[in-house]
């Protein structure tokens, strides 16, 4: 039985509890439809890969049952719906859809297959897979895996890290983005295009402003599309090597080419508007207006009419694949993911309120199924992460698995917007802006719902845990907090440039604004009146290292003789992944919450 270390005041405890898995609902994610919309692939519970025919639901098949450290950026279909390629544990798997056969090609275990949400690091053409990787901390190489021979060859080495890849349909041109940092406000980024038949770089473009480039997409051998994270969109002509820049009239950006037009996404009045943009005449044709839908495919029908395939969901309704006619606007369910819905009886409310910038923010409140019959005030758990949308919670994420069970224990649960998306960020006042927004949310819901103001607990992971540290050291409205792998020493963490908020949301680096960092950093603002906090960290977390954050914060509270607790997992990283550790964490969180709320 595994041991975890729990530190409380100056006493060392070893817990040997072994509670069963408390997962309360199935998770479906990494949904991908094939180019001709004959198949759909998806991952269940972060463990197994399934592929199903969209023409015959009875042909659903589990292709792989033990995904281990799989890379969601290595999900790619071949043309003509012939093959599906994925990677798990440094092995590339090729699934033949017609013969239902799975082949595998092992990769060098020393290859670093970096994973970052803005990077699509694979491209496929002519039975060859191109991917960015390296054998050290610098991701500056592109390799080619030939499916026919099984050989992996290094084909490109750059002086900077390599991210997004795209390849022309005939496999002649390979475009890639090079960058200096994933810190999106400070990345020096550019585009290079390689003629693979001649093994030479034919184009190099360096962006003037500091920003990460993404969404590379070829139109035959004629044009290359790409954009940055701030809504600047570019189309490069491969014939003239001229580049045109486009800025959409409302916040939005280019997604990809569809034939000779461009699929665009705009955000308007709380909705997502997908359109086809014609660069020649600067005109738009509406495809789909949706609150939550994620576009997967555009299919031309006739007479400028299209089918749009998209994934739809809401905060209490699980995902499903939909299809809508662009002219009639009639939609139908193409595929629903049969899964237990643990939230079907709970009460779900979308809370809209003015944030500190006098713009409307949305956060999401879940109440117990019998809320109308409860006469006492409910304790509230706030999950502070940011970037929340009206979407069904992913119960393969350990935070949701652990905390949503408290709906059945008499708690209310809130997913509070703490500015997790680039469009919501302010570039300054990190922590302060989020706390003020959260206080406005609390004022809004306590005026309308039966929430106990004296029993509000804030919990978070990563950026969310960073907010927990800030909230508890800069406010007294919370009964307590739970911080999992968060940043507590903002001065030292900002030097790593490994998370967006630090230094990106502080107006500059610590050496420029030291006095400000000292006022904001949780480590330098611990007080004797601080509410109790349960701190959790993973030994292998290099994004937000425990030594300069969780451990340092806890050690300082001990010198002040404060009653806080610390759990450190020696076999975990930034995420808590193993079910045994999740069970241990669940038991300790329950003990902490029950003691805190006296329930």
At residue 12 the predicted structure's pLDDT band, cuts being 50, 70 and 90, is very low
Q: What is the mean pLDDT of residues 326-335?
A: 94
At residue 323 the predicted structure's pLDDT band, cuts being 50, 70 and 90, is very high
**Angstrom distance (rounded) from CA 501 to CA 182:** 12
**Angstrom distance (rounded) from CA 283 to CA 556:** 60
pLDDT tens for 256-277 read: 999 999 999 998 887 899 999 9
At residue 209 the predicted structure's pLDDT band, cuts being 50, 70 and 90, is low
Q: What is the mean pLDDT of residues 7-14?
A: 35
Burial of 203 (0-12, 13-18, 19+ CB in 10 A): middle
Sequence spans of domains, the chain = 4-22+340-597, 26-106
Q: Are 136 and 113 in contact (CB under 8 A)?
A: no
Between the CA of residue 67 and those of 20, 30, 92, 293, 346, what are the distances in Å?
Answer: 22, 13, 12, 27, 32
Q: Where does 356-462 have alpha helices with state H?
A: 398-403, 432-448
At residue 187 the predicted structure's pLDDT band, cuts being 50, 70 and 90, is low
So what's the pLDDT on residue 356? 84
- The answer on pLDDT for 502 being more than 80 is yes
pLDDT tens for 356-397 read: 888 888 899 999 999 999 999 999 999 998 767 888 998 888
Give the Cβ contact number of residue 272 at 10 Å: 19
- The answer on pLDDT for 30 being more than 50 is yes
Torsion of CA 308, 310, 315, 316, to 10 degrees: 100
pLDDT tens for 155-164 read: 999 888 888 8
- The answer on pLDDT for 531 being more than 50 is yes
Q: Are 369 and 348 in contact (CB under 8 A)?
A: no
**Angstrom distance (rounded) from CA 531 to CA 540:** 28
DSSP 38: S
Backbone angles phi, psi at 159, to 5 degrees: -80, -20
In sequence order, what are the beta bridge partners of 120?
Answer: none
The fold of 4-22+340-597 is: Rossmann fold (3.40.50)
pLDDT tens for 65-102 read: 988 766 666 889 998 899 999 998 889 999 999 999 99
So what's the pLDDT on residue 310? 96
So what's the pLDDT on residue 178? 87
Q: Are 274 and 299 in contact (CB under 8 A)?
A: no
Between the CA of residue 104 and those of 91, 145, 558, what are the distances in Å?
Answer: 7, 12, 52
Query: Nearest-CA neighbor of 498 among 113, 116, 72?
Result: 116
So what's the pLDDT on residue 136? 66
- Hey, which CATH number is domain 26-106, 3.30.420, 2.40.10, 2.40.40, 3.30.70? 2.40.10
Looking at the chain, the whole-number percentage of residues with pLDDT higher than 70 is 89
The per-residue b/e assignment along 168-202, b for 16 or more CB within 10 angstroms, e otherwise, is beebbbbbbbbbbbbbbbebbbbbbbbebeeeeee
At residue 20 the predicted structure's pLDDT band, cuts being 50, 70 and 90, is very low
- The answer on pLDDT for 14 being more than 60 is no
Of residues 190 and 469, more confidently modeled: 469
**Angstrom distance (rounded) from CA 326 to CA 304:** 9
- The answer on pLDDT for 4 being more than 80 is no
The overall average pLDDT reported for the chain is 88
Q: Are 121 and 148 in contact (CB under 8 A)?
A: no
In sequence order, what are the beta bridge partners of 568?
Answer: 5, 537
At residue 31 the predicted structure's pLDDT band, cuts being 50, 70 and 90, is very high
- The answer on pLDDT for 21 being more than 60 is no
């Amino acid at each position: 039985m595994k041991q975890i270390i729990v530190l409380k005041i100056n006493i060392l405890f070893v817990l040997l509890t072994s509670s069963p898995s408390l997962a309360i609902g199935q998770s479906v994610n990494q949904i991908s439809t094939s180019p001709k919309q004959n198949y759909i692939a998806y991952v269940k519970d972060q463990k197994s890969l399934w592929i199903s025919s969209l023409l015959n639901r009875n042909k659903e098949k589990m292709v792989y049952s033990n995904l281990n450290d799989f890379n969601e950026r290595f999900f790619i279909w071949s043309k003509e719906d012939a093959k599906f390629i994925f990677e798990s544990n440094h092995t590339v798997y090729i699934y033949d859809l017609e013969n239902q056969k799975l082949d595998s090609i092992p990769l060098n275990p020393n290859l670093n297959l970096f994973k970052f949400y803005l990077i699509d690091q694979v491209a496929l053409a002519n039975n060859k897979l191109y991917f960015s990787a390296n054998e050290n901390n610098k991701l500056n190489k592109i390799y080619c895996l030939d499916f026919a021979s099984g050989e992996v060859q290094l084909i490109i080495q750059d002086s900077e890290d390599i991210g997004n890849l795209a390849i022309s349909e005939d496999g002649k041109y390979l475009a890639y983005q090079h960058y200096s940092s994933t810190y999106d406000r400070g990345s020096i980024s550019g585009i290079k295009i390689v003629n693979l038949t001649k093994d030479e770089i034919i184009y190099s473009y360096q962006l003037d402003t500091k920003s990460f480039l993404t969404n590379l997409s070829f139109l035959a051998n004629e044009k290359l599309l790409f954009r940055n994270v701030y809504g600047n969109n570019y189309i490069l002509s491969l014939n003239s090597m001229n580049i045109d820049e486009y800025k959409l009239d409302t916040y939005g950006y280019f997604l990809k080419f569809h034939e000779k037009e461009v699929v665009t996404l705009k955000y308007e009045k709380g909705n997502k508007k997908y359109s086809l943009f014609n660069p020649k005449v600067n005109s738009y044709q509406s495809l789909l207006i949706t609150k939550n839908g994620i576009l997967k495919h555009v299919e031309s029908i006739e007479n400028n009419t299209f089918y749009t395939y998209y994934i739809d969901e809401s905060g209490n309704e699980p995902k499903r694949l939909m299809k809508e006619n662009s002219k009639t606007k009639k939609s139908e369910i193409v595929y629903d993911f049969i899964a237990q819905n643990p939230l079907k009886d709970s009460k779900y409310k979308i809370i809209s309120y003015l944030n500190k910038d006098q713009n409307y923010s949305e956060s999401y409140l879940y109440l117990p199924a019998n809320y109308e019959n409860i006469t006492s005030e409910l304790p509230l758990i706030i999950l502070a992460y940011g970037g929340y949308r009206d979407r069904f919670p992913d119960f393969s994420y350990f935070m949701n698995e652990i905390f949503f069970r408290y709906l059945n224990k008499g708690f209310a649960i809130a997913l509070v917007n703490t500015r997790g998306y680039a469009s919501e960020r302010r570039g300054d006042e990190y922590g302060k802006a989020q706390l003020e927004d959260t206080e406005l949310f609390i004022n809004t819901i306590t005026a309308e719902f039966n929430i106990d103001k004296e029993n509000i607990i804030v919990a978070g992971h990563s950026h969310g845990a960073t907010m927990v540290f800030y909230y508890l050291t800069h406010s007294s409205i919370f009964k307590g907090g739970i911080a999992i792998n968060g940043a507590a020493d903002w001065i030292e963490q900002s030097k790593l440039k490994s998370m967006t908020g630090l230094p990106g949301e502080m107006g500059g680096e610590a050496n420029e604004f030291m006095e400000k960092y000292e006022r904001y950093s949780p480590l330098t603002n611990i007080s004797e009146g601080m509410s109790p906090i349960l701190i959790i960290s993973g030994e292998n977390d290099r994004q937000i290292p425990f030594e300069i954050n969780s451990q340092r914060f806890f050690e300082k509270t001990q010198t002040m003789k404060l009653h806080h607790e610390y759990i450190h997992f020696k076999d975990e990283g930034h995420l808590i992944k193993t079910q045994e550790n999740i069970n241990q964490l669940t038991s300790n969180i329950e003990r902490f919450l029950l003691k805190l709320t006296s329930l």
